[in-house]
Structures are given as C-alpha cells and as structure tokens.
Structure 1
Amino acid sequence: MDHPRELALDVLIKVDKKVDKKEELSHIAVGNVLEKYQLAPKRDRAFFTRLVEGTLEREITIDYVIDQFSKTKVRKCKPLIRALLRMGVYQILYMDQVPDSAACNESVKLAKKRGFSRLSGFVNGVLRNISRKKEEIIWPNRAKNEIFYLSVKYSIPEWILRFFAKTYKMDVVEKMASSFIQNKETTLCCLKSRAKKEEIRKELEDEQVVVRDGQLMEKALKISNYDSLYRLKPFRDGKCTVQDESSMLAASLSDVKKDQIVLDLCSAPGGKAIYIADELCGSGKVIARDLTEYKTDLMEDNLERIKLTNMEVQISDARILDKQMIEKADVVIADLPCSGLGIMGRKNDIKYHVTEESLKELASLQREILKCAVQYVKPGGILLYSTCTINPQENEKNYQWIIENFDYSPVDLTKELPKNLTIDTAKDGYIQLLPGIHPCDGFFVGKLRRKSR
C-alpha cells in the first residue's frame, strides 16, 4: 500500500452514486482493499480507511465548503475531480496530522497522474483557498433554518432530519445526528461456549488492544487501537464475534431455553443467530436463513471460524412460505430488511441512498415476510420482530399490525431489560433504542407470544 491516497480516490469514485447508480457499497469496497493489502503497515491501512470513511461521512459538510470557494459547483465537477476535492478538504478540515500543504500537493499530483493536468490548477486553487480561509467559512445560520444548519453541521440529508423531527423533539434529533459522526469503537460479543470473557479480554490486552466493558450487555467488550480483526487471536480462534449491543439485546430478549428450535429468517451476517446458538450451549437448533448465496457464505465463514455445532445456514426467500416449517419453531427471529436509519453512523452509504419512497416500500416488504413468519411459531412460542431503524412505519406500526391481524399478544419486557436501561414502552412489549440517547445503535425490538389453542 505505497499510495493510500490513490487507493482512497479509487474507492470514492466507485461509491459515487452520481457516477453509477449501481455503485459499490463503501464498506464492501473498503473491505476489499484492506483484504488485498492485509500485510501492509497498520499506519497506511488506517490512513486509507479513515480517508475514505471520513470523506463519505462528512460529504454534505465538505460539499457545502467547496461550493463556497469554487466557481464550479461540486456536483457538476468530473467524478475524479469531485473525489479529489472532497478528499483534500477532508484532510484540511479534519485530519490535523496531515499538513494542509501535503493535502493540496498530493491532490494535484493525483490529478496530473490520472490525466487531468489541465484541471490540476483548479484543484490546487480551490484547496489552497480553503486552506488559507478555513477560519472564514460562513456556516449556516441556525436561527434562520435549523434543519439546514443541522444538515451541514452533521452531514445528514435535510429530509431525514425533517423526518426525525416528525417523531422526536429537536434536541433528540440533534443528539442522534451528532452520534452518527462520532468515532465508533468495535463491539465484540464474547461467546461463553468458547471461552470466558476475562480470558478473551486478557488475550486482547496482550495484543495491545484497548478494551473496555460494554454498557448494556454482559457479553459485550468494546475495543479500539487495533489493525485488523483477523490479526486478533481470540477473533481468529472463534471466541468472539462482532455485534453491537443493540443486536445482542434483541437476541437476548428471545429468552431461548435448552433444546428449543429457533428460526432466524433474515439472518446475515448472523450475529443474533450466533448469540442464540451460544446461549443454547450446544443444545437445540438454530436455523439461520437469508436470500442470497453471498449472504449465506458470510454466515458459513463465521460458522467455520466459531465452530458452533447447533447452527445451520440455509438459502431461503423469506417472502415465500415454507410449509415444512409451519408451527415448528419455538422462537422465530424476524430481523427484517429495513431502511437502516439507526446504523447510519456505521454505514455511511445509508443516509445518501435511502429515500422517503423506499421507506414505504420496505414497510410493505416487511409485512409480506411477516405473513409467513407468524405461521412458523408453535402455539405458545415467541416471535421477535426487530429492525435497525428508527422509522415508526417500519417499527411500531408493523408491530401493532401483527397484534391486530394474527393470534399474537405482547410480552412485557420490563424485567427482561438490562438493569441500567429503562424504556416506558417495554411494558407494551416493544422498545425503540435511539443512537445518541442510548449507548448503542438505533434498534427496534418487539416481542410477541403466539396464543395457545
């Protein structure tokens, strides 16, 4: 990885929606590069990753700044020039360890190297102007337009902020928006069937990883100051897996019992299925399904590393009723495809790709899957409905729709939540976790019991 800036430039062009509507998702594009250069120095890999992810995370803010200093609006620039400018501005505004001169010079070099010598002066002029006048940037007036102010400050599309404001007060909206651009530690779920938590902690600390306990779940460890997960021995040995505490909490609320059959309908990458299989300690069976071979391969890879014997991976379309599974499962996990508005801090693409129209389409898709899901639960069994979004249409309204249309009743969650988590709606069988308010991703969990005949 001799030229991390050039690799970052390639990824930023690949994920630019304006270039190709079928663009690659950023976390996949970044992952592919890191896998190719897995033996490169940690410093170069970290620089590449931060440059790509940071530039995408702050794209709206960066474009606002560029448009103040460029006669050609950033959206009208050629894709390579647009990516170079964004990447350069990110280094100038947010990477203190990079001298402004280096950010400008390297961007100019890349423009020339890629055949844009005649535009290298434009790149140089815009970046040096921003560098000289960054203290003079005119930011939006909050009093005149609060939504626009928050959009530029936290780099979130205005329509998403307006959408949040329909449900939550503006101080809550700002806390959520702020949380999306904060540095995120990696959360690990320690698998008790493989090793004790303290053993995993010691192995991580022996590798100079910074480790602290999670804030909600006993099995959670937060880690930072590491290069690659696959360079960490406890991860390679299958003693832990990556999983946010919100997802762990959802899985724990299933409250599985020994020898039970669990069906996870839209499982990839398999965090909840693995958590539950681990809780079953080798008994019972967890069937983890997803739509495509790509997704099931991800789960198979995880399963091979973790070596849980009571979990099986299957390809299946959750919209199509599997008659052989009707009333066969003690617990059904329906963590369904959703808008992902609760995890925008981890996946930068979401805020730029999701649309108001897609929210309605997803809510409809979820109900299509739920019509099948409700049939797989044994009488007296549990249906756990969850999403990683904070959209009432996909969450509370779908939860209520199940109660109104099928033979299910809410399960009081009050005593099942962690001691330091209190949510009023738990008594009604569901909770909405909010990023910036709760110490985890945004997540909805609703628990229902199928009525016995």
Structure 2
Amino acid sequence: MAKPINKRELVLGILMEVTEKGQYSHIVLREVLGKYQYLDKKERAFITRVTEGTLEHMIELDYILDRFSKVKVKKMKPVIRNILRSAVYQLKYMDTVPDSAVCNEAVKLAVKKGFGGLRGFVNGVLRSTAAGLDGVAYPEEPTERLSVQYSMPRWILELWLKSYDRQTVETMLQEFQKEKPLMIRSRIRGEADLEKTGSRIGGESDPQKIGSRERAGSGCVPAEAKSLCRELESEGIHVTPHPYLPYAFYISGQDYLGGLQSFQEGRFSVQDVSSMLVCEAAAPRTGDTVIDVCAAPGGKAVHMAEMLRGTGSVEARDLTAYKVGLIQENIDRSGLTNIRAVQMDARAADADSVGKADIVIADLPCSGLGVLGKKTDLKYKTTEESISSLVELQREILSVVKTYVRPGGILMYSTCTVNPAENMDNVHWFLEQNPEFSMKDIRENLCEELRGDVQEQGCLQLLPGIHKCDGFFLACMQKDR
C-alpha cells in the first residue's frame, strides 16, 4: 500500500529548495505537482496556495513572527523557520484551516524532520501568534509600511517611487497579491480557420497592405477560439474573454493543465496578453522572416508563426539545450511547420543572419519586476547590482542582433519589468547609438484602450493593476536604411 503523502511536508520541501538553495519557485512547484499529479484537486490546490502564499507574504510573515518569538527569524534553523512561515500564512490567510490544526500539524512536522526538541518552541510561537495576530501593528513610516504590508523589499519600492507616484506603486503591489485566473491564447490558423468580424484590433476591416504583401495580424478572429471555448466549458473550465485581443482568454477551474485534451493538441498556449501584444505591435506580413533571439519557452515565436498563416519562417533561438527543448515542445504541440528551434547565444554575432530578418524579436533577460505576482521569489533574488548587470547584458545583445534587421525591418525590444532603466532608458540609448533606427508607430496595431498609453509612438509600458495584464514593456524600432 502506498505511503500517504503529507502535503505540508511537500510544501516545506519546496520552501527549502527556494529559500535555502536558490531554486525558482514556479519550477520547483511545477515539478512537485507533476510528480504527485495523482493527488486530488484539493490537495494540489492546498500545496500551491500555501507555497505561493508563504513566499509572496514572506517579509510580512517574518515581521509577524518577530513580534511573537524570542528567537528572531534570521537566527532560526532553516527547517523551523519555514515550518513557522507556512503555518503563520495559514493562520492569517486561510480561514478554512482551524488554528489548532495549523499548530498541531506544524509541531508534528518539526518532530518528523528531527527537531523534536523544539516542539515546545514551535507550539508556543504559533499559539501566541494565533492569539495576538489581529493586534499586530505595521510600521508607521510610509515606505516601510508598504514593504511589510505587501512583502516587497524596500529598495525596490524606493526604485519605483522615483518613477511612479505612491498610489500607482500601491496599486501594483495590490495587483501582485490578487489571485488571478490563467491567461491563454487560442491558436490562430490559416484562412480556412478565420472568421471575418468587420473590424480588426488596431485598424480597418481589410488587411493592411504594405508593399506587395498584406499584413498577417489579427484582421480576423479565429473561429477555432469559439470552438475552444465551448470545449473548455464542457470540461468544467470557466472561460472569460480578454478585452485587449479577440483570441485571449482567462480560464479558471482547471486542475492539471496537461490533462486537458485541447492543451495536448496545441489548441491553446499559456501566455499573458502583454506578451501577445509584442507580435501585434510588430504587425508581421505574410512571408516575413522572423528571428526571436531569446525565445524560450517559445510563446511569442509560436504566436508569430501562427500569425504568418503558414508562410515565411520563424527561427526561435535560445542559449541552452534545456531552453531550446522547451521551445521545441511548444512547436511540437502547435504542429506548425514554418518555425524551428535553434541553440544559439544571442551575444555572439551570427554572420549568416545579417540583414536577413524582417522582424527581430528581442525579449531579453530582465529583472522580472513586472511579473512578481507569478514569480514571487524574484523580488528576494533580485538586487540593484544584478539590475545594473542586466542593463549591460541587454545593451550588449541589442548591439549584436540589430545587424540582423534588414532595411525597412523591425526590431521589437521587450521586457517583463517596470524598471525604466531596462526599458525607456535602453531605448533612448539604442536610438542615440544607432541613428539608422527610429521609433515605429504602433498605435494603430493596438486596441483603442491602449493607444493613449503609447509613448513616443512606439513604446508601451504596461503596469499591473493599471492595465489588465502583467507588467511589461515593448518598443518597436524600424531600421530606416
């Protein structure tokens, strides 16, 4: 008979991997849920919520623990520290779990992990916390209060407050902590699969003529999207259209995504609408040659290949065999034939690509400060020094891949951060260094709701809570000669 799985022990294991070994939470959590996919839906949901919640609220949890423990959090043994953190998360944020059960299970787990001598300490701290939780006062100093209340490192807040007003910053912080449904993109196929709607996102009803080729963008709503929605709903999945794009949807109610036949068949991809907007802004034309230089896991590259309706070619590159494998998995699921995955270092010049691309997508490594709601542990791993290094890396890559753009072609630069140093500052630097490039107007390629937020005609900074998507930046630059 199989040994029963202790879901709190699994949570502890994930927390140890993330906080003590520096692993990324979304990767470790995905691996654990994949290994134990036979667990029922409630158990899997508990593991996910407690893991993500503990990491998301960790600064606040440590602040609370320090109010009730004589031994400060930083001086606790790592196992005990993480047992207490996850227990306090349950006490504060999970009303369905009785306080007594939280305390008892934490003590049992400490004993099981070889810390029986600390059972009294664990029990005492948690029972004191449960009794006094409602009376915990947060710091009075405004920035420190935001740091504790929303578990955001102070230096990040100070960085944002240089560029955004306090209300905008707090709106972003609130958005990061909201539970949000998954966002997907319905696959787009060829002409036979398209349904005319009378108008397209970002322009007229007829496809835009550019030179001798027509635009391959979203002039039509994929009929398959309607079929996909019906199928998902028949499987008990709740589907809600996204206002920015006709093929973007929120879904909720799913357990194991890989268990959905429509996902296995490549009928949809998990992708935030902010990422989809990169391809919309680039406005590909039938027959275009596209190079995506940092493509993993391949969402934008596959999207671009679909928008080309089977024409042209997309080369999706990334640095490691592992990342190229992720891209290939998405290509295989999509069934597309006008795209291929290639292992290549974006920093190394590729002579064969010079002047060949109609569109180069440069969605580059960044601090990820726009997606902290999904990758909560990034805020603890990122430093001011690492951001400076990332800016240097971004500029190094842009200086290489710019040569791949043919005259008249497009360089799409994007990041999933809200940090101006990695965004507008890099764009201004690039245009100063490369006068053969200029901003390309993207307003007509976007929905009306976003057009007013476009900066300098070709740049769009999306902010969590302000816009209906992740924090994201994109810039469209055209090579004029």
Partner SS for 1:401: helix
Is the CA contact 1:328–1:377 (under 8 Å) kept in the aligned structure 2? yes
Compute the displacement of 1:2 (Å): 2.4
Root mean square deviation, CA, Å: 1.1
**TM-score between both structures, scaled by the size of structure 1:** 0.96
Query: Quick one: which amino acid aligns to residue 4 of structure 1?
Result: K
The verdict on how the C-alpha distance between 1:13 and 1:424 changes in structure 2, with shifts beyond 3 A counting, is closer
Within the candidate set 307, 311, 316, 1:279 is matched to 307
Does 2:235 match 1:221? no
Within the candidate set 160, 185, 191, 2:187 is matched to 191
Is the CA contact 1:88–1:103 (under 8 Å) kept in the aligned structure 2? yes
Corresponding position of 1:83: 82
Structure 1, unaligned stretches of length 5 or more? none
Does 2:459 match 1:437? no
Corresponding position of 1:8: 11
Within the candidate set 142, 146, 149, 1:146 is matched to 142
Corresponding position of 1:348: 376
> % of aligned pairs identical?
47
Matches within 5 A, 1:249-264: 249-264=277-292
Q: Distance in 1 between matches of 2:441 and 2:327?
A: 32
Does 2:240 match 1:212? yes
Is the CA contact 1:412–1:426 (under 8 Å) kept in the aligned structure 2? no
1:101-145 deviation line (CA, Å, top 9, x unaligned): 11110000001111101111101101111111111112222xxx1
Is the CA contact 2:453–2:461 (under 8 Å) kept in the aligned structure 1? no
Query: Quick one: which amino acid aligns to residue 349 of structure 2?
Result: L
Query: Quick one: which amino acid aligns to residue 165 of structure 1?
Result: L
**How many residue pairs are counted as aligned between the two chains?**
445
Corresponding position of 2:56: 57
Is the CA contact 1:288–1:314 (under 8 Å) kept in the aligned structure 2? yes
Q: Distance in 1 between matches of 2:131 and 2:162?
A: 40
Corresponding position of 2:449: 420
Is the CA contact 1:260–1:330 (under 8 Å) kept in the aligned structure 2? yes
Is the CA contact 2:280–2:446 (under 8 Å) kept in the aligned structure 1? no
Q: Distance in 2 between matches of 1:340 and 1:11?
A: 21
Corresponding position of 1:296: 324
Corresponding position of 2:103: 104
Q: Distance in 1 between matches of 2:153 and 2:383?
A: 10
1:133-158 deviation line (CA, Å, top 9, x unaligned): 111112222xxx11110111111111
1:377-401 deviation line (CA, Å, top 9, x unaligned): 0111011011111111111111112
Query: Quick one: which amino acid aligns to residue 470 of structure 2?
Result: D
Q: Distance in 1 between matches of 2:451 and 2:408?
A: 27
Partner SS for 1:200: helix
Corresponding position of 2:43: 44
Corresponding position of 2:417: 389
1:308-348 deviation line (CA, Å, top 9, x unaligned): 11110001000000000000100000110001111111101
Q: Distance in 1 between matches of 2:134 and 2:14?
A: 30
Corresponding position of 2:71: 72
Deviates more, 1:230-239 or 1:314-323: 230-239
Query: Quick one: which amino acid aligns to residue 191 of structure 1?
Result: R
1:150-190 deviation line (CA, Å, top 9, x unaligned): 11111111110110000011000100111111112110000
1:275-305 deviation line (CA, Å, top 9, x unaligned): 1111011111110000011111111111111
Corresponding position of 1:319: 347
Compute the displacement of 1:427 (Å): 4.4
Partner SS for 1:56: helix
